[in-house]
Amino acid sequence: MITLALSKGRIFDETLPLLKAAGIEVLEDPEKSRKLILTTNQPDVRVVLVRATDVPTYVQYGGADLGITGKDTLLEHGGDGLYQPLDLQIAKCRISVAVRSDFDYASAVRQGSRLKVATKYVAIAREFFAAKGVHVDLIKLYGSMELAPLTGLADAIVDLVSTGNTLKANQLVEVEHIMDISSRLVVNQAALKLKQAPIRKIIDAFAAALAKQAQA
Ligand code: AMP
């Protein structure tokens, strides 16, 4: 049995065409069922639904053989024990610093002020500001990051941005683009050895589908 860990929503939806290219069709719709294990048209391939931030853990410890997760999640989690063969170019966005539109970020940085930064991405934020030589107090949040500068909890946030609509709706502006994010295929290294043929087949089919997309 090959187990693939996915998170519901964007990653699940954008993975379906890649799975199809590998001859795998998921037989259940996660939006219509509460099931966490989904069968596919291949009797020896199943999909498990986990929180996006849990995908690396499932794959690292062998709860799943493969998984798909954002570069953001991998950087926060650390890639220990994970083989990362492919950038799947899905769920694309960027990770940025944003502040209230009336906050003078440039002069706060120039003056060497200590910035209060709220984020889910503490490791990424710490490394980014350390490289710039900016002193920060990091405040770990699990969601609704945009609220932090609006309520005075923080001066800035580090968060994922796609269209920028969420920032705009909350009178926040993007002041730094930290990095581009997309989702990666991650593989348990022991599984790669033990189940080499079926796992290679999936990796190769994904790679071929990506190459075809790139040509189109
Ligand atoms: P947007 O309004 O399109 O800029 O989207 C921003 C919101 O969607 C933020 O709350 C982000 O955390 C979330 N978001 C954007 N892109 C992604 C992604 N690829 N994966 C997960 N969350 C995302």
Q: What is the CATH number of the domain that holds 119?
A: 3.40.190.10
Among the listed residues 140, 149, 142, 53, the one whose alpha carbon sits nearest the alpha carbon of residue 97: 149
Q: Which among 47, 13, 22 is positioned nearest to 206, based on CA atoms?
A: 22
Task: Give 97 Cα–ligand 1 centroid separation in angstroms.
Answer: 13
Using the atom order of ligand 1, give the atom closest to the CA of residue 161. Answer: 4
**Euclidean distance between CA atoms 137 and 23, whole angstroms:** 48
User: Are 128 and 55 within one domain?
Assistant: no
141 CB near ligand 1 (under 6 Å): no
Ligand 1 pocket test, pick from 166, 173, 182, 184 with the greatest ligand atom count within 8 Å of Cβ, gives 166
Q: Are residues 86 and 65 in the same domain?
A: yes
Residues 167, 98 share a domain: yes
List the one residue out of 86, 116, 91, 96 whose CA is nearest residue 187: 86
Strands (E) in 62-114, as ranges, are 66-70, 82-87, 93-100
Pair 127, 115 in one domain: yes
Distance 173 CA to ligand 1 centre (A): 15
Q: What is the pTM of this model?
A: 0.94
Same domain for 45 and 28, yes or no, is yes
**65 and 49 within one domain:** yes
What single-letter amino acid sits at 190?
A
> Which CA distances in Å does 77 have to 4, 57, 89, 122, 136?
18, 8, 20, 11, 21
Report the number of distinct structural domains present in the chain.
Answer: 2
Per residue of the chain (216 residues), what is the pLDDT tens digit?
Answer: 999 999 999 999 999 999 999 999 999 999 998 999 999 999 999 999 999 999 999 999 999 999 999 999 999 998 888 999 999 999 999 999 999 999 999 999 999 899 999 999 999 999 999 999 999 999 999 999 999 999 999 999 999 999 999 999 999 999 999 999 999 999 999 999 999 999 999 999 999 999 998 888
CB of 144 sitting under 6 A from ligand 1: no
* 159 touches ligand 1 (CB under 6 Å): yes
Range of the domain at 27: 2-91+182-215
Residues 83, 100, single domain; the answer is no
Same domain, 101 and 150: yes
Answer yes or no: do 176 and 194 share one domain: no
The answer on 150 and 132 residing in a single domain is: yes
